[in-house]
Structure 1
Amino acid sequence: MGGINSNTDLGVGLPLARFLEIILNPPKTYTPYPILNNLEPGVVGCIEVAYLSMHTSKVLKIQTKTKATQQSLDLLCFNHTPYHLKIFTQKSYFVYGKLSTNPYTNALQMINPKIIDKPNTITMRFDKACKKLPAFLKQDQHKTYLDFCLATLTPQNLEKLVNLGVPLQVVQHINEIFHPSMDFALAYNAHKGFCPPHLQALKYIEALAYMCALSSKTFDFPAKFSQHANTQALAEFVSNLPFALTNDQQKAISAIQNDMQGFKATKRLVMGDVGCGKTMVILASVALCAPYKSLLMAPTSILAKQIYTEALKYLPKSIKPLLLLGGTTSKQKEAFNEADFIIGTTALLYAPLDTSKVALVISDEQHRFGTKQRHTLQTLATQAGNKPHYLQFSATPIPRTLAMMGAKFIATSFLKDKPYTKDIRTHIVDKPQFNALLTHIKAEIGADKQVAVIYPLVEESETMDYLSLKEGAPYWQKRFERVFVVSGKDKDKEDIMEGFAKEGQLLLATTLIEVGISLPKLSTIVIVGPERLGLATLHQLRGRVARLGGRGYCYLFTHQPTNRRLHDFSQTLDGFEIANLDLKYRHSGDLLQGTQQSGDAFNFLDLSQDTHIIEQVSTLFS
């Protein structure tokens, strides 16, 4: 089944992706017109009647007799027009509506009935957006979307999904969605939506469509410098480290080495939890690539500088790192030509540099970059269709279900083992516990540790029940020395952060410090209004403390101390478990972008509940 992808030809005149897209836009409403056998008040349906007489006043009253049972039935039309006078005087016809009893005469009646030409049928209506589906726009055979849909999703065409391995039961349920029986339509309306078996079938197709889209994104390209892995430089790098690499780090490095020793340009995602040492895997990859050049793009110059410092400290002396942050001068171009490992921000994308010797391209915290930036980076060093190896690193774990789906098509390594044993205690506090929190902060600073307080906003807000960074700063500045205040708006934020790292006691900031910044002495972080942040962001912030191991503290200062989500977060330090919790509470966000963090892109699938369906679909691609 490994040949399934978006372009798989089912022999239905459409690639698989388009065919599945039509299935994933099912009817919005079903209006059944069943013929009624039992004429009881409250039932809705069609009745064949014979016209008897008409009485015209404010309310149009048509007296009829039901053909099947010969019962009298009054038809009442409010706001009638000459059109009603014409159509209701036919000799016989089918009327559709809800039966009721006249409270004054006890006569059987139907208020504002419709005349139906085709009883025992079902009318389906689709969302207007369906008319804009590419498959419909590209054809001219069918004028209405309904005609196009039914001509495409015939029972015979749907059965062809079975040839791909889709269970027959799933196909049968999908078939009923587009070719409904009367019982199905009545059940849909009673249930106010699809019943569980049909919903499960749509979930299956949605997972299949997603995985097809992923499979179509993977292409094999020849490596620019194939069968090259400098194992000698790697061994020198590893032997010079003052610590041992974790098992996960070793596995990731080994996988990258195998990639480089092949003929294909690898595209690997290295997913590391906070504090799992992904920088060491980056440096090992650079060593394997030498003497060819490696290029790394980081989201901020702070992070770029940090990686540059680590490269100077740990890489073999034969590998020369270069930090490139601004515009390119002739001197920098010359330095670029001599360097083996070039580290920069998005400025790298626009620098007129010779990338002919670049064999490895790396994006760090790659989900922070836009799709266009990632694509530009990947193609930066491509020559005549030969691509450099491309590694994407991220410290934001994704839910297990998404990892399961993505790992079938994107080479993925996971870093879960931590180089240092961390003992981070997470406490939920409110105003009554503030004095105890203050005592703790003073004790940590007294022990030559650093503390950070994270505010939700820079400026005052009328809608928020928390102080802003500006409002809160004076309180701390009166009570502590060497207080540094920084937000994303500050032009010199990097200098402020570096100043705090060297000599600060207390940092007051926004979520600026969420990703990547190393503050070895930071032992405590206080997050104000944590219920406003996603759990992944809270996890990143908490991960800033105890970077070199030991005891750390995270205080969630909230006016919602019983918040279930915060309590669940406080019980685990596992980033992958937190990603699943985030999914449970947020129900997703943007998929097929970056590292597929989460996704409301799914209309039917619930990634926190539907693991069994995803596992089923995954087997089609094994």
Structure 2
Amino acid sequence: MKLTKDVKTKFDKLEISSYTELALLIPHSYEDLRLHEKLCEDTFQLIDATVESVFWAKNTIQITFYVHNFGHTINAVIFRPKQFMMHQLSVGSRDYYYGMITCKTGQCSMSMPKKITTMGSIIPKYKCGLRSDVMWRFIQKELKEENLLKEGIPQEIINAVLSLHFVNPEILQAQELEEHTLNALKFMELHAYMKLLASKRREFEPLVSQVGEYKEWAQQLPFKLTNEQISTIKDIQKDFSLNKASKRMIVGDVGSGKTMVILAAALMMLPHRSILMAPTTILANQLFEEATKFLPNVKIVLVTSKSKKVDLSEYDFIIGTHALLYRELPSAALVMVDEQHRFGTAQRSMLDKLVSDGAKKPHFLQFSATPIPRTLAMIESAHIDVSLITSTPFKKDIDSKVIHKSDFKELIEHIKEELSHNNQVLIVYPLVEQSEVLDYQSIEEARGFWEKNFSDVYVTHGKDKEKEQVLIDFREKGNILISTTVVEVGISLPKLTTVVIVGAERLGLSTLHQLRGRVSRTGLKGYCFLYTNQDASSRLDSFVKTTSGFDIANLDLKYR
């Protein structure tokens, strides 16, 4: 929308760039310049008054008013008066005055009365880059419905927000804003933020632009892809065909089948090369195994810190850990990052630069199992395209329960029952070593009990240099794994049916959901026990009733 010179000048002073942002500069208070017959204590009020007496002291003017709208006299005081004020206050003159009225011991007085020439309206007061009266005149002239409609704001949102500027008397009585008004302000803030993000979005020419096919491959898979997997693959297919380097984040709940989307993307990019970076050797290994299994005709290589150096330019699909950043990489038309939140921005952009060709960029896909609320995904989609996978290929059957010390005997019986069916159990402790502060056992304190009463007990934690090997050994031949939250993301444990989380109230709901997602990966009946010393926790009670990662993310926001 083209702005006039005057509007642009005032927008610059207010540090805004649109009428939407102008509407968001809401008043901090209001002057109620209507006459009321009843005196209200501790509020600013307008009076219709005749001056009965004036006394000039050293630093004050003491005045007695007869107030016609109240029908009685009140005293008033002006502190540090200016000389001209004395001439305005002649005995016998009748005018309108506005000021704060307070009452003590039955006596009412007005402090700092200000002579008013216009009355009968409610005037908003602003704290901004313009003087309040100048701002109000600017609002009256420029803040019109049609200007906001042109910027894409819906009519009902406009009505709610304009009522804060062109105020109706009911708003003055309310202690808090009504919910629909608050929601309207939130909508406008998001709208303005998304426009700002969209304006900052930079576009680059892609290294490759093509339409890849996936349908024949999908039909040959030993299982059927979910509708959301297919929808996400189609989003990526469309991205690849455009004449700009795409940036897309795929957010999929735990076990939603993001791996198949990764493989479909690499397939659609053929004959051009794809690179995938994963946060751990275990995860890179798993992805390599899956890729080898489901893309049998594609030349695939695994790159970790222990890999032998080979000529990477001979391969179509390179899968690796951050070790990729320290290798000479051939150009790649597609770069993918799994569990993207585990890498810093610098690492992700470093990978991007390694395979870019001057101003041309590869297509870029980020994958994350950490659920984010839909609204957040929508906001960020102004800056990066987002696909959500909210369903899983098969329905998980996991019972979640909050347990206490009194339930321990029952828990032991449950664990013995699961192990008798050749299933595995994970017990997550909050600390590795004993703590004076925390009222829970650490791994070191607890491991003796489990090792004494059960066989094939494996122990690992974040500082354990052998943790990846321990997880692999446990997967093959373990009964119980004792660990910290190091297992939150990564290795697939097909026989794991039970997770016990000690001190569950200390963890975020998204972390609890990730840990719960370790069990029942192959459709087995799963159990998640949240052990706490707290008598009650509404947060944990809400968690056990909620299974969708996206609903968990909204709960997490609610309880923060």
TM-score tier by shorter-chain length is 0.7 to 0.9
1:236–1:316: 8 Å Cα contact kept in structure 2? no
Alignment of 1:180-219 (within 5 A): 180-181=166-167, 183-184=168-169, 187-188=170-171, 190-196=173-179, 198-216=181-199
For 1:299 and 1:559, locate their aligned partners in 2 and report how far apart those are by CA, in whole Å.
Answer: 34
User: In structure 2, which of residues 317, 321, 329 is the aligned counterpart of residue 341 of structure 1?
Assistant: 317
1:322–1:336: 8 Å Cα contact kept in structure 2? no
Aligned length: 542
For 1:156 and 1:540, locate their aligned partners in 2 and report how far apart those are by CA, in whole Å.
Answer: 50
For 1:35 and 1:537, locate their aligned partners in 2 and report how far apart those are by CA, in whole Å.
Answer: 56
1:429–1:558: 8 Å Cα contact kept in structure 2? yes
For 2:305 and 2:350, locate their aligned partners in 1 and report how far apart those are by CA, in whole Å.
Answer: 17
TM-score, normalization by structure 2: 0.82
Q: Which residue of 1 aligns with 2:276?
A: 296
Deviation at 1:430, TM superposition (A): 1.2
User: In structure 1, which of residues 337, 344, 351 is the aligned counterpart of residue 326 of structure 2?
Assistant: 351
Q: Which residue of 2 aligns with 1:437?
A: 411
For 2:240 and 2:461, locate their aligned partners in 1 and report how far apart those are by CA, in whole Å.
Answer: 41
> Alpha-carbon deviations, 1:47-84, whole Å to 9, x = none?
34515255989x9994513264696534377xx97769
Change in Cα spacing, 1:173 to 1:525, as seen in structure 2 (3 Å) is: closer
Change in Cα spacing, 1:62 to 1:318, as seen in structure 2 (3 Å) is: closer
2:281–2:304: 8 Å Cα contact kept in structure 1? no
Q: Which has the higher contact order (CA 8 A, sep 6+)?
A: 1
Deviates most, 88-97 or 280-289: 88-97
Deviation at 1:472, TM superposition (A): 3.0
Is 1:516 aligned to 2:510, yes or no? no
Change in Cα spacing, 1:461 to 1:152, as seen in structure 2 (3 Å) is: farther
1:450–1:524: 8 Å Cα contact kept in structure 2? yes
Change in Cα spacing, 1:72 to 1:467, as seen in structure 2 (3 Å) is: same
Deviation at 1:429, TM superposition (A): 1.4
Alignment of 1:149-168 (within 5 A): 153=139, 155-159=141-145, 160-168=147-155
Structure 2 counterpart of 1:353, one-letter code? E
Q: Which residue of 2 aligns with 1:229?
A: 212
For 2:182 and 2:388, locate their aligned partners in 1 and report how far apart those are by CA, in whole Å.
Answer: 33
For 2:273 and 2:138, locate their aligned partners in 1 and report how far apart those are by CA, in whole Å.
Answer: 52
Deviates most, 429-438 or 446-455: 446-455
User: In structure 2, which of residues 247, 261, 267 is the aligned counterpart of residue 281 of structure 1?
Assistant: 261
For 2:85 and 2:134, locate their aligned partners in 1 and report how far apart those are by CA, in whole Å.
Answer: 32
Q: Which residue of 2 aligns with 1:97?
A: 100
Alignment of 1:421-460 (within 5 A): 421-460=395-434
Q: Which residue of 2 aligns with 1:536?
A: 510
1:450–1:505: 8 Å Cα contact kept in structure 2? yes
Q: Which residue of 1 aligns with 2:75?
A: 75
Change in Cα spacing, 1:321 to 1:17, as seen in structure 2 (3 Å) is: farther
Change in Cα spacing, 1:492 to 1:84, as seen in structure 2 (3 Å) is: farther
Q: Which residue of 1 aligns with 2:113?
A: 115
Q: Which residue of 2 aligns with 1:270?
A: 250
Deviates most, 33-42 or 508-517: 33-42
Change in Cα spacing, 1:148 to 1:299, as seen in structure 2 (3 Å) is: farther
Is 1:495 aligned to 2:488, yes or no? no
Structure 1 counterpart of 2:328, one-letter code? L
> Alpha-carbon deviations, 1:263-320, whole Å to 9, x = none?
4433333232211221122122212223322111223333223222323333224422
Deviation at 1:424, TM superposition (A): 1.6
> Alpha-carbon deviations, 1:521-573, whole Å to 9, x = none?
21110012223333222221111012122111111112346534333332343
> Alpha-carbon deviations, 1:98-129, whole Å to 9, x = none?
253744xxxx5216x12324475746353xxx
For 1:560 and 1:566, locate their aligned partners in 2 and report how far apart those are by CA, in whole Å.
Answer: 10
Change in Cα spacing, 1:102 to 1:575, as seen in structure 2 (3 Å) is: closer
1:291–1:319: 8 Å Cα contact kept in structure 2? no
Q: Which residue of 2 aligns with 1:30?
A: 29
For 2:79 and 2:131, locate their aligned partners in 1 and report how far apart those are by CA, in whole Å.
Answer: 32
For 2:248 and 2:60, locate their aligned partners in 1 and report how far apart those are by CA, in whole Å.
Answer: 73
Deviation at 1:340, TM superposition (A): 2.3
> Alpha-carbon deviations, 1:476-535, whole Å to 9, x = none?
233233333333233443333333333332222222211232122211100122233332
1:301–1:345: 8 Å Cα contact kept in structure 2? yes
For 1:472 and 1:151, locate their aligned partners in 2 and report how far apart those are by CA, in whole Å.
Answer: 71
Q: Which residue of 2 aligns with 1:252?
A: 232
Secondary structure of the corresponding residue to residue 287 of structure 1 = helix
Secondary structure of the corresponding residue to residue 387 of structure 1 = coil
For 2:263 and 2:35, locate their aligned partners in 1 and report how far apart those are by CA, in whole Å.
Answer: 76
1:237–1:315: 8 Å Cα contact kept in structure 2? no
Secondary structure of the corresponding residue to residue 109 of structure 2 = strand
Q: Which residue of 2 aligns with 1:367?
A: 341
Alignment of 1:571-582 (within 5 A): 571-582=545-556
For 1:154 and 1:379, locate their aligned partners in 2 and report how far apart those are by CA, in whole Å.
Answer: 51
For 1:258 and 1:56, locate their aligned partners in 2 and report how far apart those are by CA, in whole Å.
Answer: 81
For 1:325 and 1:585, locate their aligned partners in 2 and report how far apart those are by CA, in whole Å.
Answer: 40
User: In structure 1, which of residues 369, 389, 395 is the aligned counterpart of residue 369 of structure 2?
Assistant: 395
- What is the RMSD of the two structures over their aligned residues, measured on CA atoms? 3.9
2:61–2:79: 8 Å Cα contact kept in structure 1? no
**Structure 1 unaligned spans of 5+:** 1-7, 131-141, 587-622
For 2:338 and 2:131, locate their aligned partners in 1 and report how far apart those are by CA, in whole Å.
Answer: 45
Secondary structure of the corresponding residue to residue 441 of structure 1 = helix
Structure 2 counterpart of 1:222, one-letter code? E
Change in Cα spacing, 1:196 to 1:435, as seen in structure 2 (3 Å) is: closer
Deviates most, 336-345 or 64-73: 64-73
Structure 1 counterpart of 2:161, one-letter code? I
Change in Cα spacing, 1:88 to 1:342, as seen in structure 2 (3 Å) is: farther
Structure 1 counterpart of 2:150, one-letter code? N
For 2:64 and 2:205, locate their aligned partners in 1 and report how far apart those are by CA, in whole Å.
Answer: 79
Structure 2 counterpart of 1:225, one-letter code? V
1:527–1:556: 8 Å Cα contact kept in structure 2? yes
Q: Which residue of 2 aligns with 1:472?
A: 446
Change in Cα spacing, 1:286 to 1:465, as seen in structure 2 (3 Å) is: same
Q: Which residue of 2 aligns with 1:594?
A: none
Structure 2 counterpart of 1:211, one-letter code? M
Secondary structure of the corresponding residue to residue 333 of structure 2 = strand
For 1:567 and 1:372, locate their aligned partners in 2 and report how far apart those are by CA, in whole Å.
Answer: 39
1:51–1:88: 8 Å Cα contact kept in structure 2? no
Alignment of 1:538-553 (within 5 A): 538-553=512-527
> Alpha-carbon deviations, 1:200-250, whole Å to 9, x = none?
43233123224324544655543311125265xx846863x5544444334
Secondary structure of the corresponding residue to residue 64 of structure 2 = strand
For 1:205 and 1:282, locate their aligned partners in 2 and report how far apart those are by CA, in whole Å.
Answer: 36
Secondary structure of the corresponding residue to residue 149 of structure 2 = helix
1:174–1:198: 8 Å Cα contact kept in structure 2? yes
Deviation at 1:40, TM superposition (A): 3.2
Change in Cα spacing, 1:542 to 1:148, as seen in structure 2 (3 Å) is: farther
Structure 1 counterpart of 2:282, one-letter code? I
For 2:234 and 2:124, locate their aligned partners in 1 and report how far apart those are by CA, in whole Å.
Answer: 59
